[in-house]
Copies of this chain bind each other. A is one copy, B any other.
Amino acid sequence: MSNAAIKLSTADVRRDTVVASAITVFAQTGYLGTSVASVAQHAGISPAYVFKLFPSKELLFVTALDHCFELVRAALEQGAATSKDQTPEAILYAMGEAYADLMADHSLLMLQVHAQSAASVPEIGAALRKGLRIISMFAKTRSQASDDAVQLFIAYGQLCHLIVVTGLDSDTSAWARMITAGIRHP
């Protein structure tokens, strides 16, 4: 009975679909701006059943955020694995490309932006910190790059978020091009 062979109960399957809907909807309207009812509607079930699957809106958001960071980590791993050159710089660059690809639909990016705004909710702040720790440590240990290079990697990730949030990627003015130059804006 390996883990992969375990047949998920329908409640567990439902939970997964609700988390997927939560990522999409929370990414669109943020933590406070999203009603549990709208997540339920996106998932095709009643609001009452969402509360059966997740005890609170807060925990639903945290679960979605945890899942988001796991997807990011997996993407970085995949990116590193497909890097031609296995030097630290090349690996970090490949991770950046993989990150940009993953952010292409903006959902996982916007969820992180909204999480930062909601970080004063203790559980959300903790989840954000944990996700950042996972990403930072994975980038460091997998690439073996210098601390400075990893810091820069994270900083450019944040710049990427700003670019998307402000819509600068489709702004051709000189100042906007200065900010977005060389960034694979998703």
A154 at the A/B interface (Cβ < 8 Å)?
A: yes
B114 touches A166 (CB 8 A): no
A22 at the A/B interface (Cβ < 8 Å)?
A: no
How distant is A103 from chain B, measured CB to nearest CB, in Å? 15
A179 touches B117 (CB 8 A): no
A178 touches B151 (CB 8 A): yes
| Given A116-B117, A116-B165, A161-B158, A151 and B179 contact (CB-CB distance below 8 Å) | yes
Q: Summarize A's interface: helix, strand, loop or mixed.
A: helix
Interface residues of A (CB under 8 A from B): 28-30, 32-33, 113-114, 116-120, 125, 128-129, 132-133, 136-137, 140, 147-148, 150-152, 154-156, 158-159, 161-162, 165-168, 171, 175-176, 178-179, 181-182
- Contacts A/B (CB < 8 Å), 13 sampled: A113-B116, A116-B166, A125-B165, A125-B166, A129-B167, A132-B166, A147-B178, A151-B181, A151-B182, A154-B159, A155-B159, A158-B158, A158-B162
